[in-house]
Amino acid sequence: MKTKDSVFQFQSPNDSPGFLLWQVSHLWQRSLNAGLRQIGLTHVQFVLLAGLEWLSYSQENVTQVQLASHAKADVMMTSNVLRSLEKKGFVTREIHPTDTRAKCLALTETGREVLLKTVKIVDQIDSDFFSVLNNRISNFNALLLELVNQNNDHQ
């Protein structure tokens, strides 16, 4: 209950969209991390592998900067994670054919096999986690996408 001297703008933590988003995100990531541990990947590694696969459908040469932008991730962190994925044999990083400052990325056959296994695990976790939303999932996704698009320029 909000009192006269309360430092919070909300009557209850459950009225705060930021706090609720943090809780949902934390619970979802905990489920994902448990599933990804079976494969030996972190959530960030999975996001970058999946992002590379998505971008490869429409682009011949995917760069680290493009992948970082797609994932809304820091470029240096992306580079470090990609270096780790390269050491595991999941991706290759080659000099871009027209921009020697850029690195072109590709999934290796092993990386693609790992991604296929991992997508099945992540899809099941997502299905279980978000099942409570039933037929409201499209509305939920639309609201999340609105937040991403509205706040993308603020980064």
Residue 13 binned pLDDT confidence (cut-offs 50, 70, 90): confident
* Whether the predicted pLDDT of 125 surpasses 90: yes
Instruction: Kindly report the average pLDDT of the chain as a whole number.
Output: 91
Q: Which two tokens stand for residue 30?
A: 């905990």
Q: What tens digit of pLDDT does each residue of 95-110 get?
A: 888 888 888 999 999 9
Q: Which CATH number fits domain 33-141: 3.40.50.170, 3.90.1200.10, 1.10.10.10, 3.10.20.740?
A: 1.10.10.10
- The domain spans of the chain are 33-141
Going 1 to 140 to 126 to 115, the CA torsion angle's sign is negative
- What per-residue confidence (pLDDT) applies to 14? 86
- Spell out the residues 6+ positions from residue 54 whose beta carbon is closer than 8 angstroms to its own: 70
Q: Which two tokens stand for residue 151?
A: 């706040």
- What per-residue confidence (pLDDT) applies to 154? 57
The pTM is what?
Answer: 0.86
Q: What is the mean pLDDT of residues 140-149?
A: 92
Q: What is the mean pLDDT of residues 115-140?
A: 96
Nearest CA to 104 among 68, 60, 70? 60
3 state SS of 127: helix
Query: What is the DSSP code (8-state) at residue 63?
Result: E
Residue 84 CA to residue 15 CA, distance in Å, equals 40
